[in-house]
Structure 1
Amino acid sequence: MLRQSLVLLGFLVLGGCAQVPDEKIDERDPLQSFNRPMYDFNMDVLDAYVLRPVAVGYVAVTPTPVRRSVVNFTDNISAPTDVINATLQGKPANAGISVARFLVNSTVGIFGLFDVATSLGLTIVDEDFGQTLGVWGIGDGAYLMLPGMGPSTARNLTGDVVDNFVLPEIALTTPQTILVFALKAVEARASLIPQESLLNESLDPYIFMKDIYFQRQLYELHDGNPPIEEEPKDFDEDFLESL
């Protein structure tokens, strides 16, 4: 997930929301009576008064090269997590790429501030524990709209806890873990600013966000090659990539 998870965790609360009185029951979303009000709170309060202003200010005062270095640094810090999850998913090639990226970027790339590995053909491989659980056959579970974090599922919430708090604690102190999490959060929200119109102009932003989220999870679970019959359609590719 932007890293999303994070990201991508979550800081995808944007735009406006409309209620649909006769909406059909969505089996993926049995907690909609809780999720919709939480979506409104995230959007109308947290995003409007906290997340978006911080993200706008961050973009205004931070030069693009510095923002790129922040992304590179947080991606590099997360590389060991990618290695562990790729290994658990039975993907030794991906694990090897993540190990090589970490070694190259931590040294030649000056602690990950510069993504030298990509220029060497070592493209980032984003693996998270939510995907690991999916590969192991565990279903999504109920769709969740989390306060301050946006869309998730029962499976991915479990994965986010492991990825963002359990595994980093092996190498980072709690303050360092929180700092990395905050950096990812601000950058993730900032990256969505150009895509806000897609959500704001949708008939029902809540459903649009939910569908985009599930499409993105399917895309990631299948490493960018989802089953043809379930392949994402009619969604902006840049928006999908930013989640």
Structure 2
Amino acid sequence: MRHIFFRHPLVGALFAMFLFAGNAAAQTVQPANPDMAQQKLEAPASEVDPYEDWNRKVYRFNETIDNWFLRPIAQGYRNIMPGFADRGVTNFFNNLTEIRNFANSILQLKGESAVVAAGRFTYNTVFGLGGFIDVATMFDLPERPEDFGQTLGYWGTESGPYLMLPFLGPSTPRDFGGFVSDTVVLPSAWDLAESPDVYYARALQIVDRRADLIPAEAFMSGDNYTFVRNAYLQRRAYLINDGRTVNDPFASGDDEDLMLEDF
């Protein structure tokens, strides 16, 4: 089951695209390593995005696929899905990521975050009807997302230039490598079920995630490509720095540091 993405690359690619694309709403993450050197994105846009011409072409390609295929399906899903059921589906799939959060917390020596991930998975699975109800948050255990891209950043790996990948959407060499590692190497809750129904569940996850992003489109302004790029890089810096202040690489020289938790 671990290699589902590579047996069905289009399904995996679409899932990754909308897992990353344009999600600028930063989740609150408590600092787990206060002594870690703060990573700053201070390079001008020409250095952060040296392949902008190519990236824009890929962005338009991805946008066309989204406009003609995935977004209409996601909008229909929002129209027919009751709010409580939509929230339950989202909670269920979020609960499956706690195994990834736990493994990467261990790799980053974040003991507290590992305990939180294990606790969230246990509470939500046992008391939350298999994860459909997020009871862990009610017990003051908010999610602390961790992935292998963050693990690489924690240990000093540079992100590399911004990349807009076909189907996969916004990324960097570090984040793409982390995504592949999370998919192939690290344990996944999807491995617990070897059934054709898993493919239907994957498709539902893709549509549900894309549907959840539709309200965020109202916040997009100006050039959509630039907005998505800035939002992605800021969110990744926020996550890798555990929610601490980092410099906005696209702000004017006189601007103050941006608190990404308020973005």
Check whether TM > 0.5.
yes
Q: Within 5 Å, which residues of 2 pair with 1:67-86? A: 67-86=86-105
Q: Report the counterpart of residue 69 of structure 2 in structure 1.
A: 50
Q: Within 5 Å, which residues of 2 pair with 1:1-243? A: 6=16, 9-12=19-22, 26-43=46-63, 45-167=64-186, 168=188, 170-173=191-194, 179=200, 181-199=202-220, 201-202=221-222, 204-227=223-246, 231-232=257-258, 237=262
Look up the equivalent residue of 1:194 and give its one-letter code: P
Look up the equivalent residue of 2:134 and give its one-letter code: D
- Do 1:12 and 1:149's aligned partners in 2 also have CA atoms closer than 8 Å? no
In the TM superposition, residue 158 of structure 1 has moved relative to its aligned partner by: 1.2
CA distance in 1 between partners of 2:112 and 2:178 (Å): 22
CA distance in 1 between partners of 2:181 and 2:127 (Å): 29
- Do 1:7 and 1:185's aligned partners in 2 also have CA atoms closer than 8 Å? no
CA distance in 2 between partners of 1:133 and 1:174 (Å): 32
Q: Give RMSD over aligned pairs.
A: 2.7
Question: What TM-score comes out, normalization by structure 2 length?
Answer: 0.74
Query: Unpaired segments of 5 or more residues in structure 2?
Result: 1-14, 24-43, 250-256
CA distance in 2 between partners of 1:165 and 1:173 (Å): 16
- State the percentage of identical aligned residues: 37
In the TM superposition, residue 181 of structure 1 has moved relative to its aligned partner by: 4.5
Change (3 A) 1:218 1:236: closer
Change (3 A) 1:229 1:154: closer
Question: What TM-score comes out, normalization by structure 1 length?
Answer: 0.80
CA distance in 1 between partners of 2:111 and 2:261 (Å): 31
